[in-house]
Chain A
Amino acid sequence: MRTFLILLGKELRAFFLSPVAWVVLALFMVITGQSFSLSIGLLREKPSDFSIVRWTFFPQWFWYYYFFLFPLITMRLFAEEQRAGTLESLLTAPVRTWQVLMAKYSSAMIFYCVLWLPALLYFGLLHWVMRGDVEIPMGALGGSYLILFATGLFHVAVGCLASSLTRNQIIAAILGYALILLHFLAGTFLMYLSQENPDRLRPLLDQVVTMRHMDYFTLGLIDSRPLAYYVSATVLVLMITHQVLEYRRWKA
């Protein structure tokens, strides 16, 4: 545990001392802030089926930037250590490979969570400005954060895997992006297929299609099946990453 915390501390420092992190954070605040103000405008014009939470977190352009986030966060993690050779000094210290992996993964996950925190502030501000004369659907808010966390767990793990496969950060980023997009598109493809065969594919859809999870959770419908899906997929991907790191040493 001590070793893990030391490694985590180092990784977090590396995150928050690098300019890239702050640029990402700033860009992200611009995007979510813009979404928030647009959704207020939208709701003022005409009534909508969806709540302000839904419009803020998942505007139409959500899918355009959401997947870019993960390569940006994770591409450096292992690729940089392998390029600089520091993986050797790291792994010849008395540490276990999984401690290194979990420290890096957790630091990326913490950074990902930090990215979403300012959005909470928006709703707090709105509440304050309106002197409580606005209803913020807490269920939808909680559900949105939960599903963002769950998909984040999985996507950050995929980013780690991509980063462990190469010593080039650019390749790691592209590979991570491709894998994440592949998973997403496979889900959309299933949705397309289900139009012809709704009864048979329906149960599968609820399990694995990210877009559908987002729809449910942002309504405040919390379903344990997608959560179980993302957690187990995360564990699987992290185990593969661990094997990759070990295998590279065997082969080297």
Chain B
Amino acid sequence: MMINVQNLTKRFSGRTAVDGISFQVQPGEIVGFLGPNGAGKSTTMRMLTGYLPPTSGSASISGHDVFNDSLKARREIGFMPENVPLYEDMRVAEYLSFRAALKGVKIREVRSHVERAMEYCGLTEVKKKMIGTLSKGFRQRVGLADALVHKPRLLILDEPTNGLDPNQIRQVRSLITQLAGEHTILLSTHILSEVQMSCRRVIIINKGTIRADDTPDALANNLQSSGTVSVELKAAPAEAEEKLTALEHVRRLSSSDAGGGWHRYELRVEPGGDVRVDISELARARQWSLRELTQHNATLEDVFVELTQRD
């Protein structure tokens, strides 16, 4: 097991940032850590990397406890902290060499490790530049190169695409996908499409607790509660509303006037049933005119909103 987290809790003076979370990550998995800002993503990652000690609970990286056996655990990890802190007054290659040596790469192999990391992250052209003069996109890549320079088995990336433009996001994302074969990856983000594209598993966290832990597709499918069905009918509004609400699986209904005697209804549907058949049969029995009947599948975004805004 690559990561094993048991009842991990972190309390700051009076505030609980992470509240007894547990999860496991197997070698080779790419796990997206998803949640709104302030949900406890960074705090969890900082505890995994040994920067913050947990208040209670435990976490281990390939069997090494992050608190009691911190050095061994940290050797397994390549960590890219949020906002990518770097030494502004060092050159790219110089910085990466320093970091590689610091993380235990043998002196003779530092050069080849650094070359490889720079090539991977597209940094070869700027290797002699001062980090302070680099653009945000390049800085982000330096952070990524730093995380993987010592070939760690586990990459922990805290918001790797934060603050990048769409092209850069795409580049970083494809980089992560490339890395997937060699490393186990835990990445945090609040950008949903990112998780959907690069992760095979999503952990949604809010207010310090885990709200969901599944594949992106399964999450979307299981939570059809946030799926909706749109119907456009020509019928007496009061009667139509009453009958539609009475249908099985329908939770909520909102209506609007679509003009020319037509009314549009948005139905919130519970998981499990398909109400479209019922609606068409109802329309036939009542002799309503029906011109639209559409089911919208829940996206990961719906799931996210549903899970993180419910309270």
CB of B102 to closest CB in A, whole Å: 5
Within 159-198 of A, Cβ neighbours of B (below 8 Å) are at: none
Which positions 238-252 of chain A face chain B at CB distance < 8 Å? 249-252
The answer to whether A14 and B89 have CB atoms under 8 Å apart is yes
Q: Which of A14, A17, A93, A96 contacts B99 (CB 8 A)?
A: A93
Contact A6 B98 (CB under 8 A): yes
Size category of the A interface is: 20 to 34
Known: A18-B89, A86-B86, A86-B87. A94 touches B103 (CB 8 A): yes
Q: Is A91 an interface residue when CB atoms closer than 8 A count as contact? A: yes
Cβ–Cβ < 8 Å partners of A93 in chain B: 74, 99, 102-103
**Number of B residues with CB within 8 Å of any CB on chain A:** 28
Query: In the complex, A91 Cα to B85 Cα: how many Å?
Result: 12
Which of B74, B75, B85 counts the most A-chain CB atoms under 10 A from its CB? Answer: B85
Decide yes or no whether A202 CB sits under 8 A from chain B.
Answer: no
CB distance from B57 to the nearest CB of A (A): 15
Q: Say what secondary structure dominates the interface of chain A.
A: helix
Given contacts A6-B98, A86-B87, A94-B74, contact A249 B53 (CB under 8 A): yes
Check: A224 CB closer than 8 A to any chain B CB. Answer: no
- Interface: A92 (CB within 8 A): yes
B75 touches A94 (CB 8 A): yes
Interface residues of B (CB under 8 A from A): 12-13, 46, 49-53, 71-72, 74-75, 77, 79, 81, 83, 85-89, 98-99, 101-104, 146
Pick from A3, A14, A89, A252 the residue with the most CB of B within 10 Å: A89
A252 and B103 form a contact (CB under 8 A): no
Query: When A and B form their complex, which 9 residue pairs have the shortest distance between CB atoms, in order from nearest?
Result: A85-B85, A92-B49, A94-B74, A86-B85, A94-B75, A6-B101, A92-B79, A88-B81, A94-B71
Of all chain B residues, the one with the shortest Cβ separation from A96 is B71
Q: Tell me if A7 is interfacial: C-beta within 8 Å of chain B.
A: yes
Chain A 73-132 interface residues, beta-carbon cutoff 8 Å to B: 84-89, 91-96
Contact among A17, A89, A91, A95 for B89, CB-based, below 8 A: A17
- The one of A14, A84, A95 that contacts B102, using a Cβ cutoff of 8 Å: A95
A169 to chain B, nearest CB (A): 14
B68: min CB distance to chain A, Å: 14
Chain B contacts of A250 at CB under 8 A?
52-53
Q: How far is the CB of B12 from chain A (nearest CB, A)?
A: 7
Cβ-closest chain A residue relative to B104: A94
Task: For the complex, give the distance between the alpha carbons of A192 and B13 in Å.
Answer: 46
Task: Known A92-B77, A96-B71, A252-B52; judge A84-B103 contact (CB<8 A).
Answer: no
With an 8 A cutoff between CB atoms, is A225 at the interface?
Answer: no
Residue of B75, B88, B102 with highest tally of chain A CB at under 10 A: B102
Q: Which residues of B are found within 8 Å of A95, using beta-carbon distances?
A: 102
- Cα distance A61–B209 in the bound complex, in angstroms: 63
Q: Are A89 and B98 in contact (CB under 8 A)?
A: no
Hey, which chain A residues are within 8 Å of B50, CB to CB? 91-92
In the bound complex, do residue A88 and residue B75 qualify as a contact, i.e. CB atoms below 8 Å apart?
Answer: no
How far is B88's CA from A32's CA once the two chains are assembled, in angstroms? Answer: 33
CB distance from A32 to the nearest CB of B (A): 28
User: Bound state CA distance, A250 and B46, in angstroms?
Assistant: 12
Q: How far is the CA of A96 from the CA of B70 in the complex (A)?
A: 9
Determine whether the beta carbon of B13 is less than 8 Å from that of A89. Answer: no
Within 8 A of B (CB), among A200-247: none
